[in-house]
Each structure stands twice: as C-alpha cells, then as structure tokens.
Structure 1
Amino acid sequence: MRRVPIVERGDWRARAADSGFRFHTIDGARYWDERAYYAFTLPQIERDLEDPSVELHQMALALVDEVAGSDALMRRLAIPEPFRDWIAESWRRRDGHLYGRLDFAYDGTGPAKLYELNYDTPTSLFEAAFFQWQWLEDQRESGRLPATADQFNSIHEQLVERFAVLSAQLPPPLVFAAMRSSEEDQGTVDYLRDCAAQAHLHGAAVALEDIGLSDDGRFTDPDDIVIGALFKLYPLEDLFEDDFGRALPGSGLRLLEPPWKALLSNKGVLPLLWERHRGHPNLLAAEFDDGSALPAGWVRKPLHSREGANVAMHMDDGRWIESAGPYAGPCIRQALHPLPDFDGHYPLIGSWIVGDAACGIGIREDDSPITRDSARFVPHAIVEDGARSVFYA
C-alpha cells in the first residue's frame, strides 16, 4: 500500500457537476482530492480487506441474533426500552437490509484493524461507488495509470442487484428521505434513488422535515399519502429521541435500513464482539467504559458518535488527541491502533458491504489521526509493482 502523487484531471470539477456530485468542495475546501491515490496489490485487497470484511460481517450478524433475544444485551447497548421489541421483531422477520461500511486501519503490512461499523447511515457512498471508478477509467485512458490498473469496486452493481431483491419486500409507496440542509446526504439519497430505479424500484425524494404523522399514527408524505417503506438517511438513535420517532413501533412503517441495524450502528458492538472473539486478528481489544481515567494506549468513544466527534486518544507517549462534538452518554474504550501516517496524511479505509457481500472500498484521509467530518476522499487503484514507473506521469 502506497500513497502515490498523480496529476489530477483538468476537468474533474465539470465531471463532478455533470454527475450531480455537488459536495466535492465543502466550505471552500476540497472534499474530493485526486492529487494522489492509494495503490494496493491484489493480495492486499483480497486477503487483508475483502476476506476479513466478509468474516466480520457474519460475526456482526451472529451478534445481532444474540442481542435481539436478550433484554440484558439491549440494556448494555443503551437501547431505549420502548424500541427493544420493535428492533427484535424486525430481526426475527429478517427485514431486508441494504448496505453498511466497516472502517479499518491498514497500512499494507499486517491485519486490518476494525475501528467501527457504520451500518445504519453510512455515507461517502457515491464517491466510492461511482466517482472514483470514473477517475480510474479516465486516468487509464490518459496513460497516467497503466491499462491493467483495477479497483476493488463493484459497489454500484451490487446496489442495483440488492434493490432488485428488496423490491419484493418493501410495501409501496417507497420514499427516500434526508435532511433538507445536508447537501451530502441529499446527494447520497439521489444516488441511491437512481440505483433503485435501475432495478425498477421507484421512490420519491422527500425532505425528512416534510414527513408527517396522521391521527392514526401513520407516517405520511407532503400529500398526506401514507408511506409504505422509508429509506431514511438519518440516525435511528436520533429518531428515538424525536416525538415522531417515538411513533415508529406502532406505525406499520417499513424502514430501510431496518430497525435491527440500530444494534450495529452502536459502538457497544465492539466490546461485545471482542468478548466473543477475543484475540481475533482484525479486532481491537474493547470494553465498556467505566468512567475511570483512560490509560495510555486506549481510545474513548461514545456509543453514538459520528464523523470522529468526541473521540479521546491517549497516546502511548502520554499525549492526548481529542476531537470536539455534540455527543455524550455512555462510552466504550478501544485499544489504540493509530492510523498509518503517509507524510502527514492519515487514511481510513471504509470497506463496503452491500447485502452480505464485500464489494469495494473508499478511503477518507485526514491531517489528524482522528478522521473528522473535514476528511478528504482519495481514490485508490490496484496495480502491479511493475507499473510503478507510470505512477508519476
């Protein structure tokens, strides 16, 4: 695994605009950054990322089966009592799920280490599935990458196939929703609507704020039509605290992602996985935080936090690295395993699961060991060592 400088496409901003990639620049700073790419060998992809992703995904599903049948484990994950039966029932029905992302620390020389699972509202999807593939094709055509260069990326095809499977399970009408103010979330929803349409599953786009609740407890669109199935790019744990969200268990609404995904978007699954698979090469030691002083060599994370917010890292040399944010509540501790440092660039690898298949990666790169919401997306390629001479074209 190497970080390789490369000449960016002169028209990449126009290509982004043409494809609806409106959030390639955020607050004047690059979010999409193709001035470099990460180069992998095929064994690194298959042995160190793809195979472990499949194994960890299956371990996570086995854990859901256990937690769904245990009120005590639901309490350990701080799942509110009014939602526990609803979550468990969605698992007993095996409500269909769409996608998820496993976040890894990996430098190409050892087992990838799981940082966390993003299985409820994972983002960076469009740029991983579509735009970095377009980058690969363009750079091969330009000669800056060899014609044999490839990418671990069948995400788009897998999404279309998965929507075809889900089409038989989701009651109509289907609605896709995200917060009106989030351009990134709106872009992700637009992309997923397009994938669904390619599978002949059509759904309207609605701002989450415009969804209503009828007198008989049904969720409705802006035309007061009862929604049958809802893809919502909004955290379930936040809905649990919302007045409308408290109506979910009795509403009859089918959610995508399903309620049982709330168990896997919770960082409490990390100590539970460690308890059951202690010493697994892709897991980091983890435990529920007891509120005592955090020893050197450990990281504290809230059960519910996103984009690297409210993370505290106590480095082995005694230094602290902390990120601000709005999250509070119960936390976990995880053994410190810093991201690799490529001359001040710290890449986090997101391994995508669609249905139950590992099908691609996306890389977000920060200037800090904590991957924050300001992290950049950097593309990747699978190359042969003999092609090294063309990397700098």
Structure 2
Amino acid sequence: MRRHTITPRPDWQRIVEEQGVVYPLTRYPDDTLRPYWDESAYYSFSLPEVEALEEVVEELHELCLDAAAFIVAEDRFASLGITDRRVAELVADSWRRRAEQPSLYGRFDLRYDGTDGTPAKLLEYNADTPTSLVEAASAQWFWMEERFPRADQWNSLHERLVDGWRKQAHLLPPGPLHFAHSEADELGEDLMTVAYLRETAEQAGIATTALSVEAIGWDELSGRFVDEQLGFIRACFKLYPWEWLVTDRFGEHVMDTLDNGGGTGTTCWIEPAWKMLLSNKALLAILWERNPGHPNLLPAYLDGPRELATTGGYVAKPLLGREGAGVSVHEAGAAPVVRTDEPCCYQELAPLPDFDGNRVVLGAWVVGDESAGLGIRESAGLITDEYARFLPHIIT
C-alpha cells in the first residue's frame, strides 16, 4: 500500500459531477470550499495484498453474523440500547426470517497501513445506511480507466449489486420497488446513493420508483403506507436508519405493518430490520467478547475502557453515531472516563496510519456475503469526520 501524488485531471469537478458525485466539494467552518473528491493523490496496492484483505473482510462479515445470532439467542438487545421489547422482538423475528428478506450491502471501516505482519483492524461496520458508494463504485473506476487504463482496481461493486438484486428479486412483493432518501440531505449524497442503487435494481430487471421519506404517506382506510400517487408501498429501499424509522411519528405503523418475510406484513423494508444488529457500535464489544484476541479485532467494551485506559488509550464511540459525531479520543495514562451523556462503546485506540500527513481509513464493501470493493478516505486528524476526503486507488 503506497500513496502517490498526481496532477488532477483538467475539469475534474465537472467530470465527477456528471458521474453522480454531485458533492465534490466540502464547505469548511471557515466557509472555504475544498475537495471532497480528491484526485491530487491516489493509493496503490499489490494484488496479493488485496486478495488477503478480501479474505479478512469476508471473515469479519461471518463473525458479525455470528455476533448477531448470539445477540438474538441470548436476548442481548439491551447491550445495543434496544430497550423497547416490541422493537427487540421485531428485530429477532427479522433475523430468524432473514432468508426470506432482501438484503443488499454494507461497509467495513478498517485500519490498515500495508506493513508486513500488521493485520487490518475492524473500526466499525455500517450495514444499514452506508454511503460513499457512488464514488467507490463508479467515479473511481472511470478515473482509473482514464488515468491508468492498464491497471486494475478492487472494485466489482456495480456487477455484484446488479447480481444481488437479480438473485433476490423473487423475495420482493408485487409492484414497483420504491427507493427513498431524506430531504434533510442538503449535499445530495443520499439522493445520489439511492439513485445509483435504483439504477442497479433496474439493470437487474426490477421495476422501481423514487420518492423522499418525507413524502411517504399513511392511508388510514387501508392501513398501508402509500406513495405520492396513493399507490401502496409494498417494498421500499430506504437510506434512513432503522433507529429513526421505528421512533418517528410513523414508527408504530412501521412496526404494525412490517413484512419480515412469509407474507406476514404489508411493507418490506430494505435493508431489513435485523441490520440494526450490525450498525450499532455495541457490535464491536460483542465481537471481542465472542472472539477475544482475534487478529482483526480491537478490544472493546460497553461498561467502560477497563485496561485500555492504561495500556494504549481508547476511543469512546456513541452506539449510534455517524461520520465521527460524538467520538472522543483518550490517550493512554489519562484518567478513565465513562461517559454519561449517551451509551458508548469503548474501543482500543488504534491511530489511523499517517501517509504524508494524512490519516487514512479503508472502506471495504460487502455485497451479500462477499467482498466487493474498496473506497479510501483521508482526514487531517484521528477521527474520520464530515471533512474527510475520498481518494481513488489502483491495483498494480
């Protein structure tokens, strides 16, 4: 793994916007605009390196499924902050019926520096509402074809997404598959992620239609969710977290009409409800509890930092945080702090590797149960936040 500087393509912003990255710039607190899509540098990997990382990703995915089964079997929902018994029962039922429900993708965030003998470490897993998909699947592939036409890339995302929809089309109820994003997304990232996934579904032969989450209606007479044309929403892919879906003002209706497979409800939501088990930072502690000492895991706990406060430092992560929000870093030797503002997972501090002054994290994608591609983000500090930059990569 190496970082290389390179001159960006002329008119790069127009090019990537036309490819769906309509958010190529980030506005900083000082009101300046700086590239989010950053092709002033790129990363290269060897093929054996990528093949080894693919194996790690698929093993981590299997460990996460094992942890999900453990949470359900041992009724450990409270560890995830799921204290509403009805929600817990719906998630448990969704898990048991998972073979009957469409489920598409997820993204692992990994710490990796390419050093021989240093294994990749899991930082977190988002298997419910992961973004940075358009740039990973599409824009960086076209960048490679233009700049390095004889190279390759860890990137089979598009083909696997289309194939994933095709294989699961029989699980969808009749009628169009709705694709919903939130109007609260001001950048357009959620909109374009959903639009791209809708395109992959259409290429798989699935009829689709689009709307915003805010435009979803409730028909009191039929007891069903409806779209803007008052058509029944029998299936909906939503880039909207489950923890919001079950707690907003339509939450009771979601639970009343949830189709977990087998025709037991009226609306099938994608991702399914059991993905709540894999997009909660408590998963990191459950993984360590189940697999202590695993080379690709970091020690993590829910009741406090324990020995991490003195051995190497730790990171406190809110159970449902995103984009680094609420994350706090605690160096070794500092007095241990158990946060009371919100439930957290306390994970061993594994500082992101420094490449030319840039802190890098690998976003490794899974489609179905298989490794599918890589997206790389850089940040100035230890926390990968909303100011992180996306950089392309190649396999040499």
* TM-score using structure 1 length: 0.90
Which residue matches 1:277? Answer: 291
> Which stretch has the larger CA shift, 273-282 or 79-88?
79-88
Matched, 1:174 2:177: yes
**Which residues in structure 2 correspond to 1:349-368 (within 5 Å)?**
349-368=362-381
Asked if the contact 1:37–1:379 (Cα under 8 Å) also holds between the matched residues in 2, the reply is: yes
Change (3 A) 1:359 1:291: closer
**Which residues in structure 2 correspond to 1:26-41 (within 5 Å)?**
26-27=26-27, 28-41=33-46
Matched, 1:208 2:222: no
Change (3 A) 1:328 1:221: farther
Q: How many Å apart are 1:292 and its aligned residue?
A: 8.8
> Of the candidates 83, 103, 116, which is equivalent to residue 97 of structure 1?
103
Residue identity matched to 2:172: L
Matched, 1:123 2:131: yes
Distance in 1, matches of 2:304 and 2:246, equals 24
Give a deviation string over 1:136-177, Cα, whole Å, max 9, x none: 000024xxxxx2x21111011000000111211111331100
Gaps of 5+ in 2: 28-32, 258-264
Identity %: 46
Which residue matches 1:337? Answer: 350
Which residue matches 1:59? Answer: 63
Asked if the contact 1:289–1:300 (Cα under 8 Å) also holds between the matched residues in 2, the reply is: no
Residue identity matched to 2:245: L
Which residue matches 1:257? Answer: 271
Q: Secondary structure at the match of 1:364?
A: strand
Residue identity matched to 2:323: E
> Of the candidates 332, 335, 340, which is equivalent to residue 316 of structure 1?
332
Change (3 A) 1:293 1:54: closer
Change (3 A) 1:196 1:319: farther
Distance in 2, matches of 1:369 and 1:291, equals 18
**Which residues in structure 2 correspond to 1:227-242 (within 5 Å)?**
227-242=233-248
Give a deviation string over 1:292-313, Cα, whole Å, max 9, x none: 9982511111111000111111
Asked if the contact 2:305–2:314 (Cα under 8 Å) also holds between the matched residues in 1, the reply is: no
Q: How many Å apart are 1:317 and its aligned residue?
A: 6.8
Asked if the contact 2:106–2:125 (Cα under 8 Å) also holds between the matched residues in 1, the reply is: yes
Matched, 1:187 2:201: no
Q: Secondary structure at the match of 1:181?
A: coil
Q: Secondary structure at the match of 1:281?
A: coil
> Which stretch has the larger CA shift, 283-292 or 197-206?
283-292
Which residue matches 1:306? Answer: 322
Q: Secondary structure at the match of 1:295?
A: helix
**Which residues in structure 2 correspond to 1:75-90 (within 5 Å)?**
75-79=78-82, 80-90=84-94
Residue identity matched to 1:236: W
Distance in 1, matches of 2:292 and 2:305, equals 23
Distance in 2, matches of 1:100 and 1:275, equals 22
Distance in 2, matches of 1:293 and 1:68, equals 28
> Which stretch has the larger CA shift, 353-362 or 79-88?
79-88
Q: How many Å apart are 1:379 and its aligned residue?
A: 0.6
TM superposition outliers: structure 1 runs of 4+ over 6 Å: 291-294
Which residue matches 2:141? Answer: 133
Distance in 2, matches of 1:15 and 1:354, equals 27
Q: Secondary structure at the match of 1:316?
A: coil
> Of the candidates 247, 252, 258, which is equivalent to residue 246 of structure 1?
252
Q: How many Å apart are 1:291 and its aligned residue?
A: 8.7
Residue identity matched to 1:374: Y
Q: Secondary structure at the match of 1:167?
A: helix
Q: Secondary structure at the match of 2:170?
A: coil
Matched, 1:370 2:380: no
> Of the candidates 280, 285, 289, which is equivalent to residue 303 of structure 2?
289
**Which residues in structure 2 correspond to 1:2-81 (within 5 Å)?**
2-27=2-27, 28-47=33-52, 49-71=53-75, 73-79=76-82, 80-81=84-85
Q: Secondary structure at the match of 1:230?
A: strand
**Which residues in structure 2 correspond to 1:156-171 (within 5 Å)?**
156-171=158-173
Which residue matches 2:202? Answer: 197
Asked if the contact 2:20–2:134 (Cα under 8 Å) also holds between the matched residues in 1, the reply is: no
Distance in 1, matches of 2:72 and 2:235, equals 22
Asked if the contact 2:308–2:348 (Cα under 8 Å) also holds between the matched residues in 1, the reply is: no
Residue identity matched to 2:165: F
Residue identity matched to 1:34: E
> Of the candidates 199, 220, 224, which is equivalent to residue 218 of structure 1?
224
Gaps of 5+ in 1: 142-146, 321-326, 384-393
Aligned residues: 369
Q: How many Å apart are 1:240 and its aligned residue?
A: 2.5
Q: Secondary structure at the match of 2:171?
A: coil
Asked if the contact 1:217–1:250 (Cα under 8 Å) also holds between the matched residues in 2, the reply is: no
Asked if the contact 1:116–1:270 (Cα under 8 Å) also holds between the matched residues in 2, the reply is: yes
Distance in 1, matches of 2:320 and 2:382, equals 19
Distance in 1, matches of 2:346 and 2:189, equals 30
Which residue matches 2:119? Answer: 111
Q: Secondary structure at the match of 1:37?
A: strand
**Which residues in structure 2 correspond to 1:371-390 (within 5 Å)?**
371-383=384-396
Distance in 2, matches of 1:331 and 1:81, equals 21
